Structures are given as C-alpha cells and as structure tokens.
Structure 1
C-alpha cells in the first residue's frame, strides 16, 4: 500500500474493474440458438450461462473448479447480548467445518464444489461498534487484501459465505448506515434470538449509528467502523474476483453486506455477482432489490456459511450442462424453426 489514505489503493482497484466480454456472450448466444429446444425455453438458465461466460471471458464457459469460501470472524458487539449463542461457537464451528460435519460440507460434497475456510483471527474479536470502530483503516484494508487471496489458487466461479456469532447485527448496522431507515427494519432474528434479543440488537445498531454519526458518508469508512473481518475479507474477495474475471455467487444477509459496500462506491461493482438466494433473515429481500440482484433460490434459508450460494452453484452446474452437452438441431437430425 502507498503512503496515502489506506483506502486509496482500494478505490483505484475499483476504478480499474474490467467489464463483461461481449464477444464471449455472443458466442454463447449463437450456440444457444442451435440447441434442440425452442428459443428461450430454458428461461433464466440460458441467461445464467451467458453471464458466466461473459465474466469468465470465454465463449465456452466452465465450472471445473468452483470454490466456496467461508470467512470466519468474531465481534465485540456480542457483549451486548445480540446472539442466542456464545462466542465459543465460533471456534467450535471452525472445528466442525474441518471435520466435515457442517451443512456446507454436505452441499459441497453433493455438487462437487471446492471448499475453503478463512480463519480471520477468530479468537480476537473486533471492537464493539457501539463504543468505537470495529477496526482502523489500515487493518480494514489489510483484511480486504487477505480476502483477495480467495482467488489466488485459481477458480472459475467463487461463492462467498461467512460464519461469526453476532454478524447479523453487524450487517444490519451496515445496511442502516448505507440505506437509512429505522434500525428495526434491518434487524432480524439471526441465530434465533427471542423478542428481548431483537430489542438488544436494535439498541446496539442504534447506539453504533449514534456513536459514529458524522463519519458514515464514505462506504469504506462504514466498513471500517461498523464492519467485521469477515465482511471486509468478503469485499476483498469479490473485488479480486472481478479483477481476475471470476464470476461470484453471493450467499445471504451478511455476505450481501460486503457486496453492498462495493455497490455504494460504484453501482457497477456487482455486475459479475449473482445472488444465490434470498435469505429469511432480516430485510435481505429489500437489500437485494436495492442492489438490483434477483436471487436464484428462495428456500427460506438463514444459515449462512455459504450454504445458499453453494446450492445455487449446483443450479449453475445444471444450466451449464444443458448448454454444453445438449445436442444441436444438426447433430440430432431435428428440423429447426420454420420460416414465415
């Protein structure tokens, strides 16, 4: 990084983002028109393949190395009683991931997806956002840079998810800062808090917004003051994927908060992203509408850990298989559309 503001290099990277490969999209459209089906008969599945190829920059898109990355962090705001589970669950869930016992392990195994977990100092919580910033600018940018390593090993599609007790409160605070409105609109039940827990979450978001008032006009400042390590790392991963032409599938409420930060800086920053699903948590549907993202799935999920994004990757695999392996009219000896 340079001697400028720690965020300066992030802004430069965002300004240098490539766009879609139009030639690749045209190649995909040409093949789609030759397949043994009525034009448009596979609906959105056809558009998904075109999206995949345009952002990979390939007329023959692939899903040979899809990767689900889960970013795990811990939060000082849990001292406010905002979660139904103790902070000890963070380390226990990492051990469960490693042992292959979590839901995301089963989904990845079922669909042949790669899986990687990033431990973001899980035993060291970020600052309590009701009392001060989550972390400073330098630490925020360093965490974003760490998240950029998600695509370093190579992948043709990245799904981003998270794990961290208290992070639905963090996400709600970010949305409230970015979009405005009452804190209660953005707060959901998270891991299953009761009505009193909802009240504590709303109070924590309101206290955080009041404490940081006057410093939330810059989306990156919102991230540093109200965010968490997993959210900063996911933002970095989404940005790095764009720079390396890797399409991204977003998971739920918390993962979308990372995307919302980038979108607030540049509305085109999420053009390479797909909303894997709409979560039952909080106001996720509202967020997706504001970001212009139409979710692939609506299964009432609110687990996190990349589970909804991984399910969506399975659907993407099916869409690509149809495009890649279906016979053309010529190959099948089937008459094409009549003229006139």
Structure 2
C-alpha cells in the first residue's frame, strides 16, 4: 500500500513459548491503584503486616502468583478471563470455571483480591459475572515475593466504584490481551512475547515545541513465522464522537513523524489497530480516516473484535491500512 510507514522485522522465532501471563509484566502499580474501587461485602483486611504476608507466601501456588500478577497489570479481570488465562488445561469449561471460582474466593479470603459491587451480566450470570481486582495487601505481597517490599508504597484510602464505561473499556483491553495469549496457544508459528499496559505503553514526544504523550490502550509484540510484528492497540466502544477519535489519530501521525519509534526499532513503526464493536462503526471510522488524512501515510487497521484473530494470524505484512 502506498505511503505505508510500517514493516516487519525478520527474526528467528523464540524458542520459549512462555506467555506474558506467566512473566514479569511491564507496568506501574501507581496506575493500577488510580481508579477507585468498592468491594462487595466486608472490606478485606488492610492491616496485613510483613510477617502475615510472609506466611501467605508459603500458602500460594505458582498459579496463584500468576493470577495476582495478571490482576496487577490488567487491573480488572472477569472470572472467565482468569479461567482462560490460568485454567485453560481443564477438560471441560464447567470444570475450569468451578476451579477458577474456588481459587479466586480462596485468594479473596486471604485478603489479596476483591470483587466489584457491579457485575457484568448480572447476578444470573453466576460466578462468571464477578469482576476481580488486586487489593493493597495483594500488591504488597507481590512486592515481598519479588524482594521489593515497601509498606509505605501503597496507602489505604477510601475506594469508590469506577464508572461502567471505565470498567467496560478496561475489561475490553484485558480481553484483547487474553485473546493474544489464546492465539499464541492455538497457532504454533505465533509467539506472543511482549505486552505493555498503560502507562508504560505511552510514548512521550515533542510536537511544535510542546511535550505530548501518545497513549495507546495496549502495546504488544508477536513473532509470526520468523517475523516480529509490533502493535499499538486502541479499543473503541462507540462512546467517543468521531472528531475525538480523529484527534487521537492525528496524535499517531504526529508521533510517526517524530521518528522516535523508527529510530529505536530498525525503522519499523507499529501497526495501529482500532478494534471497534460492529461493522457500522468500522465503516464510519474508515471513512473518517480517509477523509481526514487524504495526503498522510496509511497507518491504521480498523477491525471488529471478531476479526482480531485473523489479523494476528496473518501478520502485519497482510494488513489493510487506512
């Protein structure tokens, strides 16, 4: 496609297929605790000291730690998403869901995780409707586990439940990550090797003398059949007016023109993927991009959630950009 500023980096496929769900994440816990949260039922104990946390360390399995790490950086996860990430070996979905639910309520009893007052799908959806997040003791336990314990790092304060729009958007970002893990499990030629959550996926740069930040929802790297593909991912839930979306697209063009990403990664700029809820929104966004950026390089992929797997499977070289 003419004007295209993206390409793929030829690489040897990594031998390790250990997914980022089981790796140390890139992220800042200050962001993870920036949203106010109201737990259901009684507040988990906030006075767990170092000795109490050390006792809990011996009670937790490797999978427990992986779940806590996932919650730390995804910030919120549904029970079903946790099942797909960490209990995928279960022979039947019902068995996996029961195992996941038991495990999560064990962690809740320890005071390491909590649930929202709000559920996705309502009470009739059962345990699948629970939205989970890390507690401050859970954060401090992870710090202790990684040798970074600092009792003053997270301070207790009154939590309020975030808005429904915020919850939906955050869970949609998490869903994108979960699908990347599942795609890597499904296709042996694809290896999901890197993820950056907000705010570490943000990119600071200067434009006309002003300090600016590009703020993707997620950044990911996949290896596909010997090539490295780099992705900026934006989740659109049709909650923003199209002029607002185009303003963010302008920010991507400004960052592209800065050349920062290309200098750091062999001239490659990540594919910017807009994931939209339906075909109508997709066509509306494509038309707006074509009209707004007539003379600019083509750099955006616009897809529905159902098309995400095929996008990753095909790789960056086969993406239609606008």
Q: What is the TM-score normalised by the length of structure 2?
A: 0.27
Q: What is the TM-score normalised by the length of structure 1?
A: 0.26
More helix by share: 1
More strand by share: 2
